[in-house]
Amino acid sequence: MLPTDAKPITRWPDRDEAFQDVVTEINRTIEDLLISLKTKGEWYKELEEYEEAKRASEKAIQLQQAKKS
């Protein structure tokens, strides 16, 4: 739950700090997803499931591009 400890942003003494906490955790989640998709793509490739590998890789690329925007 975001922000930390599911404390509402309106109850934080510094709302900027609360929003920064949310952004930091969203970025961490995106990074975890990227790692997971890349690993999944490699796993499918090893199993010679090339269509699944391609899909996982494409999702990872889309997520990475969205993160840059």
State which amino acid sits at residue 7.
Answer: K
For 45-66, how does the pLDDT look when each residue is reduced to its tens digit (9 = 90+)? Answer: 888 988 888 888 888 888 888 8
Q: What are the contacts of 61-68 at 24+ separation with CB within 8 A?
A: 63/30, 63/33, 63/34, 63/37, 64/34, 67/27, 67/30, 67/34
The fraction of the chain above a pLDDT of 90, given in percent, is 26
Spans of all domains in the chain: 35-69
For 3-12, how does the pLDDT look when each residue is reduced to its tens digit (9 = 90+)? Answer: 888 899 999 9
pTM value is 0.65
